[in-house]
Amino acid sequence: MTAVIDGQVAIVTGAAGGLGRAYAIALARAGAMVVVNDIGSAAGTTGAVVEEIRGHGGRALGIVESVTDSGGVRRLIDETLGAFGRLDILVNNAGIVRSRPIVEMSDEDFDAVLAVHLRGTFLCTREAMRAMRHRGGGRIINTTSGRAYYGHSAGTANYAAAKGGIISLTGVTAAEGKALGITCNAVSPLARTPMSEQYLAGDTDPALDPAAIAPMVVFLASDAAASITGEVFRVARGEIAVVRTTISSPLRSRGLQWTVEEIAGRISEIRGEP
């Protein structure tokens, strides 16, 4: 099946570099008109991505707005509609990291990361859905992380919480989007970017190039993925897997109801330990 996005309009947030840049370029090469969004401090780089797309014959527009600001997000959508007349694809990719142990993490550290990742994904999704419903549908692609479901990385409480929230938000968006013709999926990428530099320093695996993740995003943005929604895809080191929540087989109390003593005596059985 061919992935068709020719002539469609895509917004990619956090697209000045790293994964967002790779997604924007790949979508443009697949025929989409791309809005390259990033914050003001990265405006020059955003312009460079726009020029790179245009240099290869694509159509692109740079818009500098923060995904944490509801007014800015509305302007992002309005300017996109004003320039291209439609919105078909939203890639929620913007993100930041502020890694510290919980006992040293400030309110601002926690709030800032959730604001960009989780609030930003919500705000962009809400405005995109309002625009897409009038056209009969669209594609929303969110970004989560292995930190959300592996969960054993010290110093990432804010990031892991935000990325876990995005998984939940993806499911709700998919459920609400069905009646509107809007799909919503998430990618969980492992790639060498400025954000992951401290974790992947010295790792030269070519599959860690952000461009290696982009085909999954282009596929999810396309008509070929019209029946796929509510999924989370892990893309790492040349492999793709589906991330799903599992629940162990439930156990009943041997009495009328569970007691503290029975739980303590059967905790290994409850945990599925041999």
Residues that are catalytic: 159
Structure tokens at 258: 């569970």
Q: Which residue has the tokens 């709030």?
A: 111
Distance CA 20, CA 77 (A): 18
Q: Which residue has the tokens 């790779």?
A: 22
Distance CA 159, CA 100 (A): 10
Residue 262's CB is within 10 A of a number of other CB atoms, namely 15
Distance CA 3, CA 219 (A): 6
Angle between helical axes of 157-177 and 120-132 (0-180°, round to 10): 20
Distance CA 268, CA 262 (A): 11
Structure tokens at 265: 């005596």
